[in-house]
Amino acid sequence: MSLFGKLFGGDDAAPAPVNDLPLKLRLGGAVAYDDTMFKANAGVLGFDAPQGNQMIEALGKVDLGAGSHLYRFYLTDDAWLQVNTTGASIDDIKLFVYAETKNPPTKAEFVRWTEPGSQIGSAQVIFEGKSYARVWGDSPAASWTPPVAYDESVEHPVGGEANFDLTHYSMLYQREVPELPGRFEYLFVTAEDYGPEEFCVVYSLGVDVTSADLTIT
């Protein structure tokens, strides 16, 4: 029995720490992704899934308003699992793997990534020889639609790296995988703004994931 329990006569069944994270994922925990689909269709997707148990090394949270949140679980091998929730329900789970990072040499060049005519927001993006169509934006016909701006706060396990926040200017793209009808590969392009002197543009490739594909420990 805990000291607290001894002093106040409580029992050992003290409530566990409140964990409001979806799927019982937790910072410092681990997750393994069942990559059977990747193995059975080698070369069909533009990236490889992370192998084996992946530690959740950082957690990014985005409040999208209207009760909707994004949770990004950053994994050991340059991958991240994104869970999109509304209230207590899970709307969407995706696994993304970092594909390319660009470091604009000046602030002005970085800012141009967020402005009209930027690749972020163009109707389609050719990435590694494959064409991806824009998902967000009101008009599919518009040659450019503004990237979506939002803030993310990133936490690390206690005693780890310092927490920080950043502003994203993002656009989501997708292509239906010809070899796997009905399955989409996603290209997520985001301009990451950490501050007036720190920024980058990140391309990630991803797929839809179900909770059955995940082993969470």
- Using the minimum distance from each CB to another protein, give the nearer residue, 14 or 142: 142
- Cα–Cα distance for residue pair 37/26, rounded to 1 Å: 25
From 24-32, 38-46, 48-56, 159-167, give the range in contact with another protein by CB under 8 A.
Answer: 159-167
Q: Tell which one of 5, 39, 41, 115 touches another protein (CB under 8 A).
A: 115
Query: For another protein, which residue of 31, 47, 49, 193 counts as binding (CB under 8 A)?
Result: 193
Distance CA 45, CA 74 (A): 21
Task: Tell me if 172 contacts another protein by CB under 8 A.
Answer: yes
With beta carbons less than 8 A apart as the criterion, state whether 134 and 124 touch: yes
For position 88 contacting another protein by CB under 8 A, the verdict is: no
Short-list 202, 203, 196, CA closest to 106: 196
Give the whole-angstrom CA distance, residue 137 versus residue 116.
13
Q: Which residues pair with 74 in a beta bridge?
A: 58, 80
Name the one residue in this structure whose structure tokens are 């543009």: 201
Residue 82 DSSP SS3: strand
Q: Does 184 bind another protein (CB under 8 A)?
A: yes
Could you list the residues that contact another protein (CB under 8 A)? Answer: 58, 60, 62, 64-66, 68, 70, 72, 74, 78, 80, 82, 84, 86, 91-92, 94, 98, 101, 103, 105-108, 110-111, 114-117, 121, 135-138, 142-150, 152, 154, 161, 166-167, 169-172, 174, 184, 186, 191-200, 202, 208
